[in-house]
Chain A
Amino acid sequence: AQKVTQAQTEISVVEKEDVTLDCVYETRDTTYYLFWYKQPPSGELVFLIRRNSFDEQNEISGRYSWNFQKSTSSFNFTITASQVVDSAVYFCALSEAGFQKLVFGTGTRLLVSP
């Protein structure tokens, strides 16, 4: 069975601090996909990144970076120099090959205060 664990329910930081959101996953598939989505207070889901299981290269996009480690089944997300606009709920998700279903973690609420 597939499972995604986001152990951090809520994180509060002050603007300009760096913050890392943890994601641990479980799957028996050898081919799978990992995602991060952002859900701002307005409620929509905003796609941030997709990572394939056969590509362990870390990725950086502006202030965002992702650390994928198959050895520890983790796909952590770091925001550098956080801003108030980063305040949102962040979801990590896992999909098997075939894309029929996304299994989501329970989300981490990030609050960035000025």
Chain B
Amino acid sequence: EAQVTQNPRYLITVTGKKLTVTCSQNMNHEYMSWYRQDPGLGLRQIYYSMNVEVTDKGDVPEGYKVSRKEKRNFPLILESPSPNQTSLYFCASSPRDGSVNTEAFFGQGTRLTVV
């Protein structure tokens, strides 16, 4: 089954304690992205990756890091989480060829609370 898997689904942490949210896809997609969802703001892109070792900032990258060492994995790293990073996070993947009739596949979401 084609899917994007995020872990954990729920996380409560304290300010300043480093954490990683993992994301893995089994569709051999080139593109992967991280989004955060906040009330009244919709989803905003944090970082994206066009392929292995190729990453770039999205609209709200401050406070986040990513890496793409393998095609299937795209972890999101919060080196020093702060309460304003409390949010619902989604990982997404899509194939490079946007001309085919396809979609962006989203993970189940990770609800992060930073206290």
A43-B111, A44-B109, A101-B48 known; A50 vs B43 contact (CB < 8 Å): no
A33 within 8 A of B: yes
Inter-chain contact A106/B41, CB cutoff 8 Å: yes
Residue in chain B with minimal CB distance to A33:
B98
10 extra interchain contacts, Cβ-Cβ under 8 A, other than A95-B98, A99-B94, A106-B41? Answer: A4-B42, A35-B104, A43-B109, A44-B106, A45-B90, A45-B109, A95-B104, A100-B31, A104-B35, A105-B42
Complex Cα distance, B90 from A99, in Å, reads 16
A selection of 8 A-B contacts at a CB cut-off of 8 Å is A37-B106, A50-B101, A97-B98, A102-B35, A102-B45, A102-B104, A106-B40, A106-B42
Contacts of A44 in B (CB 8 A): 106, 108-109
Chain B residue, CB-CB nearest to A96: B98
Q: Are A107 and B31 in contact (CB under 8 A)?
A: no
Within 8 A of B (CB), among A84-106: 91, 93, 95, 97-106
Number of A-B contacts (CB under 8 A): 60
Q: Would you give the shortest CB distance from A30 to chain B, in whole angstroms?
A: 14
Q: Which residues of A contact B45 (CB under 8 A)?
A: 101-103
**Number of A interface residues, CB 8 Å?**
24
Q: Which of B48, B50, B106 makes the CB contact (< 8 A) with A45? A: B106
Q: Does B69 contact A (CB under 8 A)?
A: no
Residues of A within 8 A of B76 (CB): none
Whether the Cβ atoms of A47 and B98 lie closer than 8 Å is no
Give the nearest-CB partner of A100 in chain B. B48
Docked CA distance A33–B31 (Å): 16
Tell me the A residues contacting B by CB distance below 8 Å: 4, 6, 33, 35, 37, 43-45, 47, 50, 91, 93, 95, 97-107
Nearest neighbor of A47 in chain B, beta-carbon distance = B103
Q: Which among A50, A97, A98, A104 is the interface contact of B42 at CB below 8 angstroms?
A: A104
Interface residues of B in 38-54 (CB under 8 A from A): 40-45, 48, 50
User: Please, which residues of chain B bring their CB within 8 A of the CB of A99?
Assistant: 31, 94-96, 98, 104
Interface of chain B residues 53 through 92 with chain A (CB within 8 A): 58, 88, 90, 92
